[in-house]
Every structure is written in structure tokens, then in C-alpha cells.
């Protein structure tokens, strides 16, 4: 029997905070640990974080930052000029990826489901069916933040004061969604969703939502 389902927000290479938060939570053998993606990039210890996650059998869904690295690696297999341009941090990560790291990243899935709990990196729109997803919606799941008043997806920067954050209008049709990507000072708790990215890499804190016996609670670790 599963004891607890522990879901971490965007870690972004913040290894020390992951270790501190995990000490607080104290995962046991029958707990399941999952990340909402964006394990790597931006923070100082991406490779160390990736090693730790693999060694401790922590699972993850795909984040947009892992997706970028995978797309870069896929393009690299051809001789053409790589259309994906990496920054210095991303290049450094790519240069240090082992075969094990690459396999782990390539095998990350877009979503994971545990009963009624659905884990994605960005978000979902009410019309989406994750089991029968249109190809054009794949990148949206990774990047979703704002929708217009008709519920249409907006790319980053298209939003204005009339835009709606997707979780505020989500109707629960894909289950109770746990997501990251957009960071909040405190975990954002809605009727059918929890945003668990609390901006660790921006100096706020790393959080996890923990499900146990039909209830949940949040644990956090303030950045040093
Ligand atoms: Mn993200």
C-alpha cells in the first residue's frame, strides 16, 4: 500500500534545498516521490540534482527546460545547424550529461496519474484529454500559464489584465492537477489544482505537496 504521494515543485538545480526539504518530509520505502519537472537549469547544481533524483528513484514528469535539452540533443544527431540555442548554463549541463542522465531525461513523460491526481508541468485546458492529446497541445501542457476570456491558450507575454490563469478556470475534467512552471510565493491551492512551484531558484522556497489518506498538506524549505 502506498503510504504517501510526495510531489515536489520546480527544483531547478537547487540541490541543497531538495536535501533539506526531503529531510523534513523523511520519505519512507512505500512513499512515492514525483517532481513536476524543471529539475534542472538555472540553479547551481543541476547535474548533482539529477544524480540524486535518479539514485533515489524519484520520478518526474517532463518540464519545458528538460524538453529544450532533449530537443537540442535530438537535433544534434543530424549534421544540420542546431535550431535550439542553449545558454551557457544549458550548454554546461549538456556537456556533463552521462548516458544514464540522457536516458532518464528522454524517458520523462508529459503527465503522470495516480488515481484522481494528475501531475503535469504547466497545466491543462478544460477541453483537453491527456489520453488522446492533439499533437499541437503537447507544448501547451509544458508551458501553460494564461488563457484569454474564451479559454484560448496564450503564449508567454500575450497575457493582459483580462487574461485568466488556467487553474482558476479549470473544471477538474482531467482530475486533480498538481503542476509547477508558474511560481507563487505560497503553493496555489484551487478546487481542482495545486501549483507547487514556490520559486526556489528565485530565492523564495522549495515546496512539496503530500497526499495521504485523501488529504494533503504542504511542506516547504526556505532558501538559505
Ligand atoms: Mn517551467
Tell me, in angstroms, the distance from the centre of ligand 1 to residue 63's CA. 6
Report d(CA 170, CA 151) in Å as an integer: 10
- Asked whether residue 184 is assigned to any structural domain, the reply reads yes
Partner residues linked to 113 by β-bridges: 118
- Asked whether residue 18 is assigned to any structural domain, the reply reads yes
Rounded to two decimals, what is the model's pTM?
0.96
Domain count, the chain: 1
- Asked whether residue 12 is assigned to any structural domain, the reply reads yes
- Asked whether residue 149 is assigned to any structural domain, the reply reads no
In this structure, what CATH number is given to the domain that contains residue 115? Answer: 3.60.21.10
Neighbouring CB atoms inside 10 A of 143's CB total: 17
Report d(CA 167, CA 169) in Å as an integer: 5
pLDDT at residue number 1: 59
Tell me, in angstroms, the distance from the centre of ligand 1 to residue 179's CA. 10
- Asked whether residue 125 is assigned to any structural domain, the reply reads no
Angle at 58 between CA 167 and CA 104, to 5 degrees: 95
- Asked whether residue 51 is assigned to any structural domain, the reply reads yes
Around ion ligand 1, which residues have CB less than 5 A away? Answer: 38, 63-64, 181
- Asked whether residue 29 is assigned to any structural domain, the reply reads yes
C-alpha distances (whole Å) from 50 to each of 18, 77, 78, 96, 204 are: 11, 23, 26, 11, 21
The domain in which residue 70 lies consists of 5-120+177-222
Q: Quick check: helix, strand or coil at residue 79?
A: coil
Quick: pLDDT tens for 28-74: 999 999 999 999 999 999 999 999 999 999 999 999 999 999 999 99
Mean pLDDT of 197-210: 98
Tell me, in angstroms, the distance from the centre of ligand 1 to residue 68's CA. 11
- Asked whether residue 24 is assigned to any structural domain, the reply reads yes
Quick: pLDDT tens for 78-125: 888 999 999 999 999 999 999 999 999 999 999 999 999 999 999 999
Amino acid at each position: 500500500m502506498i503510504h504517501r504521494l510526495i510531489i515536489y515543485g520546480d527544483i531547478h538545480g537547487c540541490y541543497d534545498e531538495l536535501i533539506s526539504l526531503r529531510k523534513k518530509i523523511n520519505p519512507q520505502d512505500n512513499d512515492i516521490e514525483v517532481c513536476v519537472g524543471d529539475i534542472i537549469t538555472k540553479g547551481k547544481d543541476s547535474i548533482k540534482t539529477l544524480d540524486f533524483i535518479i539514485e533515489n528513484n524519484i520520478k518526474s514528469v517532463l518540464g519545458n527546460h528538460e524538453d529544450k535539452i532533449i530537443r537540442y540533443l535530438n537535433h544534434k544527431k543530424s549534421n544540420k545547424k542546431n535550431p535550439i540555442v542553449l545558454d551557457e548554463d544549458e550548454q554546461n549541463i549538456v556537456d556533463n550529461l552521462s548516458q544514464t542522465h540522457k536516458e532518464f531525461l528522454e524517458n520523462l513523460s508529459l503527465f503522470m496519474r495516480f488515481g484522481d491526481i494528475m501531475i503535469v508541468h504547466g497545466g491543462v485546458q478544460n477541453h483537453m484529454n491527456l489520453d488522446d492529446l492533439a499533437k499541437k497541445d503537447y507544448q501547451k501542457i509544458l508551458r501553460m500559464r494564461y488563457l484569454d476570456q474564451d479559454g484560448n491558450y496564450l503564449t508567454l507575454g500575450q497575457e493582459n489584465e483580462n487574461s485568466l490563469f488556467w487553474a482558476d478556470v479549470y473544471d477538474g475534467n482531467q482530475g486533480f492537477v498538481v503542476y509547477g512552471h508558474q511560481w507563487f510565493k505560497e503553493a496555489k491551492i484551487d478546487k481542482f489544482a495545486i501549483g507547487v512551484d514556490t520559486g526556489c531558484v528565485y530565492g523564495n522556497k522549495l515546496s512539496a505537496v503530500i497526499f495521504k489518506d485523501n488529504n494533503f498538506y504542504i511542506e516547504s524549505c526556505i532558501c538559505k
